[in-house]
Chains A and B, each alone.
Chain A
């Protein structure tokens, strides 16, 4: 991804500057905010519920974005671990929107680095969206079944099915909405890369 030609001054794995401003401008356009706003206070990372599981913390994601180090960013698990809880966006002193930036990064990563999306997460998203594509709504039994097939986590949570059924929480027959064609058109027009 780093399109800038290695300059004689940059040895081996040191990034040469200024880098090609490719990713940065895409994100700027997608979210209507300039990542240059960020002054690296880290309040986003400090409040991030997933920070302990991320190799790149939120403020580091924004920093890499400022440096336009696209490959490092787009191939990282961390952007997929964001829960979009919006804590970072709510508390950002510079009124930047890290959550939106991460969403935009995911959209690009899905196209450019589909193999790097963690399997369980991509399985969930595609199972979820498949439900909507099929029925217009999410039919939870179908979601779980499809998810298991895609993720390979066949036996997780199996013990909970009887409990769900007993409480009347799992319907077995999906209902399809009448406007399903409309919904499918939305999907085709949004031309989303299908997560694997």
Chain B
């Protein structure tokens, strides 16, 4: 299976473990990821919050690049990038004024038939393969699947899964042998792009999510978005320092969980890069220590 691949900025920076684990999992499942050449940033919230046209034009350029490479399916692992690409495509297909504006800016009119898929779509289609190739099923792990905002909302753009009671991530987590927990905060916002500009809001929102997952009995959270990861992992230090909410909650990318169940090396999956150590989780499933010398550097 050949897929166009749009990593997005975070996967080359603060969320590099997401890319590392993805590439390892893709190799194990024989999925060929062909990176879109010379892609640009999707613009994230800052683009669409300041100019609707900019918010469409930046992802449209990436769609154009993909088309030039003859890619008819684009995999965007970052939920935010996925949402921007899909929103741009939706605007091009449904808003004629916008489409003509983009055409004049790019001197090109991107096709709207390219399918853009997110990690939940990719891996839930592979659930059978994941289960089949499972070398170290994660039995006994309880995982809170966190969908966040941008994977399923708004439904007319994302068009997959139920926007209010989704289950695609739960389906994937079940395939790894772990048990998804029933909880109600899976769709609540973590504070998204306010990490730097309104840290207090992020702390408030992310804390509520962590508390809910903990009270539902989860051992870890599975996420599909680098922004959510950063808010729930990196910002968790501050949350835990200020409050006595309970044990630190490891935050794993979905691909890392799948990688573990496929028997891949935790270091290869970038598990050592988290701020909240996933070591307790690894202990629970009888995996070895993440390289201690590296951890001590922290």
User: Which of B41, B49, B55 makes the CB contact (< 8 A) with A138?
Assistant: B41
A179 to B297: give the CA distance in the assembly, Å.
38
Q: Does A85 contact B (CB under 8 A)?
A: yes
User: Chain B: how many interface residues by the 8 Å CB criterion?
Assistant: 59
**Contact code string A159-196 (vs B, CB < 8 Å = 1, else 0):** 01001101111110000011100110111011111010
Kindly list chain B residues whose C-beta atoms are within 8 Å of the C-beta of A137. Answer: 9, 12, 39-41
> Which among B44, B188, B189 has the highest number of chain A CB atoms within 10 Å?
B189
> Which among A89, A128, A137 has the highest number of chain B CB atoms within 10 Å?
A128
User: Which of A53, A87, A160 makes the CB contact (< 8 A) with B201?
Assistant: A53
B96 to chain A minimum Cβ distance, whole angstroms, is 10
Kindly list chain A residues whose C-beta atoms are within 8 Å of the C-beta of B48. Answer: 84, 103
Q: Which B150-204 residues have C-beta < 8 A from chain A?
A: 150, 153-155, 163-164, 187-189, 191-194, 196-199, 201
Q: Does B205 contact A (CB under 8 A)?
A: yes
Q: Does A34 contact B (CB under 8 A)?
A: no
Contact A90 B106 (CB under 8 A): no
Contact A50 B46 (CB under 8 A): no
Write the chain B residue with the least CB distance to A47.
Answer: B188
Knowing A90-B164, A169-B16, the reply to whether A157 touches B49 (Cβ < 8 A) is: no
Contact B47 A183 (CB under 8 A): no
A183 to B106: give the CA distance in the assembly, Å.
9
A160 to B163: give the CA distance in the assembly, Å.
35
A187 to B51: give the CA distance in the assembly, Å.
10
Contact A132 B45 (CB under 8 A): no
A85 to B47: give the CA distance in the assembly, Å.
15
Contact B52 A131 (CB under 8 A): no
Contact B298 A166 (CB under 8 A): yes
Write the chain B residue with the least CB distance to A136.
Answer: B40
A161 to B154: give the CA distance in the assembly, Å.
35
Classify the interface of chain A: helix, strand, loop or mixed. Answer: helix
A191 to B228: give the CA distance in the assembly, Å.
31
A90 to B47: give the CA distance in the assembly, Å.
21
Task: Please provide the 3 A-B residue pairs with the shortest distance between their CB atoms, ordered closest to farther.
Answer: A86-B153, A85-B189, A124-B197
Knowing A136-B40, A177-B39, the reply to whether A186 touches B61 (Cβ < 8 A) is: yes
Write the chain B residue with the least CB distance to A106.
Answer: B49
Q: Does A156 contact B (CB under 8 A)?
A: yes
Kindly list chain A residues whose C-beta atoms are within 8 Å of the C-beta of B58. Answer: 132, 183, 186
Contact B273 A168 (CB under 8 A): yes
A136 to B9: give the CA distance in the assembly, Å.
10
Contact B273 A84 (CB under 8 A): no
Kindly list chain A residues whose C-beta atoms are within 8 Å of the C-beta of B212. Answer: none
Contact A178 B38 (CB under 8 A): yes
Contact B50 A86 (CB under 8 A): no
Q: Does A144 contact B (CB under 8 A)?
A: yes
> Which among B40, B55, B58, B192 has the highest number of chain A CB atoms within 10 Å?
B40
**Contact code string A76-94 (vs B, CB < 8 Å = 1, else 0):** 0000011111110111000
Q: Does A63 contact B (CB under 8 A)?
A: no
Q: Does B53 contact A (CB under 8 A)?
A: yes
Kindly list chain A residues whose C-beta atoms are within 8 Å of the C-beta of B22. Answer: none
Contact B201 A50 (CB under 8 A): yes
Q: Does B105 contact A (CB under 8 A)?
A: yes
Q: Does B13 contact A (CB under 8 A)?
A: yes
Q: Which A61-119 residues have C-beta < 8 A from chain B?
A: 81-87, 89-91, 97, 99, 103-104, 106-107, 110
User: Which of A50, A82, A187 makes the CB contact (< 8 A) with B54?
Assistant: A187
Q: Does B259 contact A (CB under 8 A)?
A: no
A113 to B171: give the CA distance in the assembly, Å.
47
User: Which of B41, B189, B193, B199 makes the CB contact (< 8 A) with A136?
Assistant: B41
